[in-house]
Amino acid sequence: MNVSIIDPLQGDFPEVIEEYLEHGTMKCIAFNRRGTLLAAGCHDGSCVIWDFETRGIAKELRDKDCTSAITSVCWSKYGHHILTSATDKSLTLWNVVDGEKVARVMLPNVTLHARLHPGSYFPSTCLACPLSSAPILVDLNTGSTTVLPVSISDVGAEAIPPSRNKFADGSPAIRVIPATFNKHGDLIYVGNANGEILITDSKNTHVRAVVPISGVVIKHIIFSRNGQYLLTNSNDRTIRVYENLLPLKDGAQALDELSSSEAELEGIEKLKAVGSKCLVLFQEFQDSVTKIQWKAPCFSGDGEWVVGASATKGDHKIYIWGRAGHLVKFLEGPKEALSDLAWHPVHPILVSLSVKGLVYIWAKDYTENWSAFAPDFKELEENEEYEEREDEFDLMPDTEKVKELDVNEDEEVDIVTVDKDSAFSDSDTSQEELCFLPAIPSPDIPEQQDKFVGSSTKLEDSTHSGSPLSEEAGQNGQEDNLELSPVEVVGNSIADDMGTNGRVKRKRKPSEKGLEMQAEKGRKPLTKIKPSGKSSKARNKSGEGQDTLLFEDDVTDEYM
């Protein structure tokens, strides 16, 4: 699609399902940082990497030690590694290029969400959110774990009170405590069941600030790609977006300065005071009519749109809001419940995963606006008769030719320097980023060889071996005794009937009228040959065996 002829007022959000991807039963999806590769964790424990440009499978990561369903996939910052978590309580780090397993760690509980540290080229630390347990930092090299605090009091970190670990509507208790890194990984944001966001130092796991959210259970906590906004999904059917007031780099150092400014306060009051200077509520999103629960919320690639999916069973409904709070698009897919969402990092493309394991690709339904490309272009609703001017197509004299552009042909053209991509704030430090994988084409299924081309020897061999060729030969009027020499077969010889072009010539049996005419001419039948078991039957059009009459001029030495 030519970007020049696209109407800029149409909005950069997907509208229709463009196509779908199918490979086994996929359970979770994630784009790499550039959006060129899409990773999908499958039910059988494998991880499939799709080339998103060609919609083909570029790599399949499979561990013989893991046959359990994958619960989450996460790319490293530069795309050379993928972290997967499975229902067998394992975390596996993969090298994407060679498809080899780098590390495998077993945890006490099943991990539903796992995220690699975003600040290192070769990741060695990840954040895991297990079932019914506090989030933990895992060292992938040694397997050691560090439990993060999920609640704060005047005396320190405590476990979540069981009485608060329930939804407001009386539904079962929350199963996972969400946590995420900030953009550079020096801080960890944890959302608990007490309606609090805890900002924790990732190095010493100390709680540095607390942001209260009116006593709701937080189910999801997600940062935008640029790190400027934080999204939370709560059990009160509300998606909240907070603006991050901390600098994108050296956030821990900024927290030290904020703590120093609040030196007169102590304990939880100080943490809340610092937290009020870290996050500020920007907007709330909810369906005021149906009051539905949300699942798989996320930001668009540029952070301008907020996406939420209906958690109602059997619904594949997606809501897209502008960051200012207005609903801009409602998408309804097939009658399959939605389990995961991912927005393309660069383009207005949304990928949704159904519980049946199919990945649906939602794209923009573009309307071409040619007048935006050429202002003097006129679009016609229907055909119109055009009358040309008398001199419209006359050759222009040399004096009226358009003046050539003033181009310095001696100027050197730089074809080496790569312009910085505005969609990535740190694209100048990612020269070694993995964007594409070499495609390995799958071999085509060889088509069945032509059954009527070949020598008589091949036909005889196929008859002895009982191949399908012998069966079809019998169906076409030939007996199973093709082992006889073609010379011995009366009226159906392949060797005698082959023409110069290799096509079989069939002899016609004289009709009764023809026999009478030949008898009148003095050609009397010499003998009548009965078809025996050693020769092929002469068949008429209906396929029934009949006697063959031989005349004197038809008899050769081979019958004597």
Return the CATH number at 104.
2.130.10.10
DSSP run (H or E) holding 458: helix 456-465
Amino acid identity for residue 198 in this structure: L
Angle at 82 between CA 77 and CA 87, to 5 degrees: 135
User: Between these two residues, 42 and 481, which has the higher pLDDT value?
Assistant: 42
Q: Are 103 and 95 in contact (CB under 8 A)?
A: no
Q: How confident is the model at residue 510 (pLDDT cuts 50, 70, 90)?
A: low
Predicted local distance difference test score (pLDDT) of residue 514: 64
Segment 369-387 mean pLDDT: 80
Segment 482-496 mean pLDDT: 38
In a domain, 466, yes or no: no
What are the Cα distances from residue 125, in Å, to 60, 141, 184, 286? 24, 8, 13, 35
Q: Mean pLDDT of all residues in the chain?
A: 77
Percentage of residues in the chain with pLDDT exceeding 90?
Answer: 50
Segment 8-35 mean pLDDT: 88
Q: Which range has the worst mean pLDDT, 39-43, 221-225, 249-253, 419-423?
A: 419-423
Segment 127-145 mean pLDDT: 94
User: Between these two residues, 307 and 153, which has the higher pLDDT value?
Assistant: 307
Q: What is the C-alpha separation between 220 and 191, in angstroms, rounded? A: 8
What are the Cα distances from residue 133, in Å, to 87, 111, 520? 15, 9, 107
pLDDT higher than threshold 70 for residue 523: no
Q: Which residues pair with 342 in a beta bridge?
A: 351
pLDDT higher than threshold 60 for residue 545: no
In a domain, 383, yes or no: no
From 314, 330, 363, give the residue that closes a domain: 363
In a domain, 287, yes or no: yes
pLDDT higher than threshold 50 for residue 504: no
Predicted local distance difference test score (pLDDT) of residue 493: 37
In a domain, 498, yes or no: yes
Percentage of residues in the chain with pLDDT exceeding 70?
Answer: 68
Q: Does residue 241 share a domain with residue 104?
A: yes
Which residues lie below 8 Å from residue 157, measured CB to CB, with a gap of 6+? 149, 150, 151, 207
Predicted local distance difference test score (pLDDT) of residue 522: 56
Domain extent at residue 100: 13-363
pLDDT higher than threshold 90 for residue 223: yes
In a domain, 472, yes or no: no
User: Between these two residues, 466 and 100, which has the higher pLDDT value?
Assistant: 100
Please provide the DSSP assignment of 278-346 as one string. Answer: TEEEEEEE--TTT---EEEEEE-TTSSEEEEEE-STT--EEEEEETTS-EEEEEE--SS-EEEEEE-SS
Q: How confident is the model at residue 479 (pLDDT cuts 50, 70, 90)?
A: very low
Q: Does residue 315 share a domain with residue 171?
A: yes
Segment 404-424 mean pLDDT: 72
The dihedral sign for the CA sequence 518, 520, 525, 529: positive
Backbone φ, ψ for residue 268 (5° rounding): -65, -30
pLDDT in tens, 163-197: 344 444 444 454 789 999 999 999 999 999 889 99
Q: Where are the beta strands (DSSP E) in 515-557?
A: 525-529, 538-539, 545-546, 548-551
pLDDT higher than threshold 70 for residue 79: yes
Q: How confident is the model at residue 208 (pLDDT cuts 50, 70, 90)?
A: very high
In 3D space, the residue among 533, 560, 557 whose CA is nearest the CA of residue 545 turns out to be: 533
| Number of domains into which the chain is organized | 2
DSSP run (H or E) holding 208: strand 207-212
Please provide the DSSP assignment of 38-96 as one string. Answer: EEEEETTS-EEEEETTTTEEEEEE--TT--SPEEEEEE-TTSSEEEEEETTSEEEEEET
Q: Does residue 189 share a domain with residue 59?
A: yes
Q: Where are the beta strands (DSSP E) in 323-473?
A: 327-332, 338-343, 350-354, 359-363
Predicted local distance difference test score (pLDDT) of residue 540: 44
Q: Are 453 and 502 in contact (CB under 8 A)?
A: yes
Predicted local distance difference test score (pLDDT) of residue 353: 96
From 344, 363, 382, give the residue that closes a domain: 363
In a domain, 244, yes or no: yes
In a domain, 463, yes or no: no
pLDDT higher than threshold 60 for residue 383: yes
The dihedral sign for the CA sequence 265, 267, 268, 270: positive
The residue behind tokens 């229709």 is 16
Q: Does residue 356 share a domain with residue 211?
A: yes
Helices (H) and strands (E) in the chain, counts: 7, 34
User: Reduced to 3 states, what is the DSSP secondary structure of residue 398?
Assistant: helix
From 307, 340, 363, give the residue that closes a domain: 363
Q: How confident is the model at residue 201 (pLDDT cuts 50, 70, 90)?
A: very high
pLDDT higher than threshold 90 for residue 275: yes
Highest mean predicted confidence (pLDDT) among 215-219, 332-336, 458-462? 332-336
HSE-up (13 A, CA, CB side) for residue 3: 3
In a domain, 238, yes or no: yes
Supply the pTM of this predicted model: 0.70
Q: Are 87 and 131 in contact (CB under 8 A)?
A: no
CA distance between the termini of the chain: 81
